[in-house]
Amino acid sequence: MKLGFLTACMPERRLEDIVEWAADRRFEALEVAAWPSLGDRPFTASHLAVEQFGHADADQINELFDNNGLTLSSVAYYDNNLHPDPAERKAINGHVAACIDAAGLLGCPTVGTFIGRDPGKTVADNLREAERTFRPLVERAGERGVKLVIENCVMEGWHPDGYPGNLAYSPELWEWMFSLGLYLNYDPSHLVWMGIDPVAALRPYVDRIPHAQAKDIELFPERRNRYGYPGKAVNRTDPWDTGWWRYRVPGLGDVDWRKVVDALYEGGFDGVLSVEHEDPIWGGAPDKVDTGLDIAHRTLRPLIVA
């Protein structure tokens, strides 16, 4: 197992600078953000221009990583592949395809994205559409030696009432994804607020997890007593603010990382555990982001066999 992080927490920095910083801090891998543009959603970045990516680009990126002793663990583009607007959906699906092509040229083992959801349709209708949407993407990935991994993020901000906006939030849906040839980019933080034991959920599926993310979560149960599971309903100016939990870097929340890492090892996981830094306390400025990643490193490094 190797320890890395997702570069989306550093949107203003060049990939070259991030690679050097990561090597200096003794991280071993990077999950590289490849959004086409920053857009209006937080925690996105454009560190890999996959739209017109060729062999020369791949050689340059691989040389950068090799010279700094790092692994490129995944190409990351987490967006709504079932977007209700047909033109937007087509563009998102097309960009996932470009990420797959770039990963193939790079020799990168995985591409990370979301299933997504059309909030105006039932789960059953969405799953039928997802089967049609992802079949060609899975085939494309297989032809290029790449695994398409889906993060189990709930993406509640995509639904007008705070319900799941990414249909990958439970083991039931993971099994449906696996039947399509998709894999899981496991993140325990989302399971915690959904009321799912992250270790019990993890154990049966380790062989379908080629890549994992490390994000922590801090719960405020007394606030949940007011808002309920979906979160704020009356005064929710920020669609991502449920009011009763917040993400943290590993070590500052409620996830038991000793048990999570132990379960990954017991199940035979030998991929990358990638820190996804969305901590509001240790974010907002480059020096704070650096400190947050340092905290995550100090928490997880002792648990990972060198």
CA 104 from chain centre, in angstroms, equals 19
- CA dist list (Å): 248 to 23, 32, 115, 168, 201: 23, 20, 24, 21, 21
Inter-CA distances, 152 with 72, 257, 258, Å: 21, 17, 20
Q: What is the pLDDT of residue 305?
A: 87
CB under 8 A, 24+ apart: contacts of 234-240: 236/162, 239/156, 239/157, 239/158, 239/162, 240/42, 240/156, 240/157
Indicate the helix (H) or strand (E) that contains 176: helix 171-179
**Domain definitions of the chain by residue range:** 2-303
CATH code of domain 2-303? 3.20.20.150
pLDDT of amino acid 269: 98
- Distance in angstroms (rounded) separating the CA atoms of residues 59 and 73: 16
Q: What is the pLDDT of residue 73?
A: 98
Which parts of the chain register pLDDT below 70? 38-40, 306
Helix (H, G, I), strand (E, B) or coil at 143: helix
Give per-residue pLDDT as tens, 88-124.
999 999 999 999 999 999 999 999 999 999 999 999 9
pTM here is 0.96
Which candidate, 250, 199, 176, 306, places its Cα nearest to that of 186?
199
